A and B are shown apart, each in its own frame.
Chain A
Amino acid sequence: MPVVIQIPTPLRRFTGGRRTVTVEAHTVGAALDELTGIFPDVRAGLQRPDGSLRSDARLFVGAEDIRGLGGLDTPVSDGDVIAIIPPVAGA
């Protein structure tokens, strides 16, 4: 099922400048696997060196935080939008 992943500006240099990436997946985790399969460098923005999800990278399906849904197992269906919100330090 095609779902759209929104790439936030700080991670776009790892996706060749693309703002969205459409992948086929049934869960958020699978969608991210697809994403990092296409753009391996984006991994640094999402995962720790050991492969676990970075605690400071927030993922949303639509407007909802996946922590309130099913985490990486949250199901996604056709047309869903996954948003990534990265930590931002500057002022």
Chain B
Amino acid sequence: MIYLDNAATTFPKPEGVYSAMDRFLRTSCANPGRSGHRMAVESQRVVSQCRQAVAGLLGAPSVDRVVFALNATDAINTAIKGLVRPGDHVVSTLMEHNAVARPLKRLEAEGVEVTYVPASAKGEVRAADVIGALRPETRLVAMIHASNVAGTLQPVEEVAAVTRCRDALLLVDAAQTAGAVPVHIADMGIDLLAFAGHKGTLGPPGTGGLVLGMRADPRPLREGGTGTRSESVEHPDELPERLEAGTMNVSGLVGLLEGVRHVMERSVEGIREHELAAAQAIEQGLARVPGVTLHGPRRFVRRAGVVSFSLENMDPRDVAAVLDTSFGIATRPGLHCAPLAHQSLGTYPVGTVRMSPGPFTTEADVRAAVDAVAAIAGAV
């Protein structure tokens, strides 16, 4: 199998992820911060190490402002619903994934006003348009860092330069970028950053989190056991416990820790260079195949390593099924949970075929993928 669906989740994981999770589940898998015996202490230790590693990778202002969650969607829900109240105004974009679009839709029904800033046909949102949509009562700006459809990197820093001087907080959906594109919350002026543990950070599914800047203080959506202050029925106020009710996915975080370590060893810049080179090679190859249309920006500067294309006279779902069944290549067709983005790109409702290389994609994988698309195009 040639795996080109790394934007959905990265595969394979670094060898250390597999072995660390296996070892942990066999030897130290206790409930962290609860019991005090040596296994529980060991569990607590890996959670802390993982928190430190993530804080370092993403430039968190302090380690306790890294809050773990089920996935990026879970983190985004905490951010949006924990901050925005009826009567508030939110600015978002027409490039969002459903992880942002659906919670906002729900809040709109509850009396929150949302302004959606349009994008160009290449999927680019202009910072000036986002800034222009800000109002005195704007509570939150929620935007995706890199489009999961077209790879377009949005001007997060330009927006942050303005929001950091206003009351509005900036939430960045970094599901596609954390670990794959350099991100530094403190330096960039981001207030809340949601990440997926199983994508660029190379951890297992079921991991992710929310990193909070110093201004952001969302309410918890869940209360319960935290292992701290057990004497009180009041949910604790301290971070990160305040936003981490219930037993954590410790085995997942063990894997995430190894994934982040691998990223740090290779460096985010190194991985980005590798993925962009692969994406660029795919795009250059596909551009020569008759009948192929490429979507999204052509430049590889403001761009994550995602290639979206269509093949003339063929449903993307059929293209992906043939790539899988006849060539053993995994890609993702359709709308990629981002109907708004596809509307912006003009590819709604048919969608596109997306090829997303990862840290382990080889030149041979790229050649095989391009050759396969050429063979399919030739047989239509």
Asked whether any CB of A lies within 8 Å of a CB of B in the complex, the reply is no
Chain A contact residues, CB within 8 Å of chain B: none
Chain B contact residues, CB within 8 Å of chain A: none
